[in-house]
Amino acid sequence: MRMPAYFLKMINNSLLMFLRLGIIIIFYSIFINCVSAQDFNFKILDSFKIKSDQIYLDHLNQLYVIQSQDHLILKFDDQFQIKKESSSSFYAEPLFMSVVDPMKIILYIPSFSNVQILNSDLTLLSDEYYQQFNSESAITHYSNQSLCYFSNGKITLKNTIDNRLIESENIYYNRSKELKLTEIKSNGKDIYLLIPGAGLWHFNEFLKLEHFMNDSTIEHIDLYENKLFISKHDQIEILNLNLKSQVQKIKFSFPILSFSVNKNYLLLADKNKIIRYKIL
């Protein structure tokens, strides 16, 4: 017995409708999962009261706190217990640290153009005067055998074995009236230079300028895997490494004086405490 033509047509239309609905649901699920994967998810873990001028977090989850008023650098383990303490009259000045290599910590003292290398105990290994450095210079690790620094308007890679130098072209910018610490970060390939009040520069491994963000409100930067974090007053913005697209913006209820991030934690410092967030 054959079904009427109109009944067959009704069944076909119903099947087609369910098929389309199924495709939409699958597409929507994939889209939601992709967006969630791109988001930076975290939860508050703990905090402790401490005054700090700058904070730095290494890949071993060790925290370094600079207290300029007390002339101190404090090193904490991942339980916020003090492991080491270093005191010097030089620490009363604004300082910039690089803790990419916890066995060879870089400490730059802008007022004296001195670059110190400290071991894991915060003991001095070397102290070198960089004549070309000034208050707007900054320095960091680039690889096991090279340093990366900014001075005299140029990015320079210095081979620590043979002292060979590779320089970028000059960059030009308007200097801020309120001088703040210049920051430089690298993942061993990309180089990011922040001059607060002037903007943020991205250089590739050939020291060619890839992108410039003309944003005077950026206060601090840090790298985490394939993302660049920037802080602006009470918020953190997460950017792709090319700086051309924003992934996420996170607003907090307090001004962020300093921050640092690694694969496990995001640490924020306000006036009297450090708050640790667990990355999920």
Least confident of 4-18, 96-110, 201-215: 4-18
pLDDT for position 27: 38
% of the chain residues with pLDDT over 70: 85
More confident residue, 154 or 5: 154
Angle at 42 between CA 39 and CA 43, to 5 degrees: 150
Write the pLDDT tens digit of every residue in 85-121.
999 998 988 899 999 999 999 999 998 999 999 999 9
Average pLDDT over residues 59-72: 96
Instruction: Express each pLDDT in 155-171 by its tens digit.
Output: 999 999 999 999 999 99
Give the pLDDT confidence score for residue 133 in this predicted structure.
Answer: 95
pTM score, two decimals?
0.83
How large is the average pLDDT for residues 37-51? 84
Given a cut of 60, whether residue 10 has pLDDT beyond it is: no
Buried (b) or exposed (e) across 175-202, using 16+ Cβ within 10 A? eeeeeebbbbbbbeebbbbbbbbbbbbb
CB-based burial of residue 86 (10 Å sphere; 0-12 exposed, 13-18 middle, 19+ buried)? middle
- Residue 130: alpha-carbon gap to chain centroid: 25
Interval 180-191: pLDDT, tens: 899 999 999 999
List the Cα angle 41/79/86 in 5-degree steps.
Answer: 115
Q: Which helix (H) or strand (E) holds 16?
A: helix 5-38
pLDDT at 24 over 60: no
Among 82, 42, 78, residue whose Cα is nearest residue 59 = 78
Tens-place pLDDT, residues 215-246? 999 999 999 888 999 999 999 999 999 998 88
Amino acid letter, 117: I
| Per-residue confidence (pLDDT) for residue 19, from 0 to 100 | 46
Predicted pLDDT of residue 28:
36
Q: Which pLDDT band, with edges at 50, 70 and 90, does 12 fall under?
A: low
The values of phi and psi at residue 190, to 5°, are: -80, 150
**Buried/exposed code over 87-117 (b: 16+ C-beta within 10 A; e: otherwise):** ebeebeebbbbbbbeeebbbbbbbeebbbbb
Mean pLDDT, all residues of the chain: 87
Instruction: Give yes or no for residue 37 having a pLDDT over 50.
Output: no
Average pLDDT of the segment spanning 140-148? 95
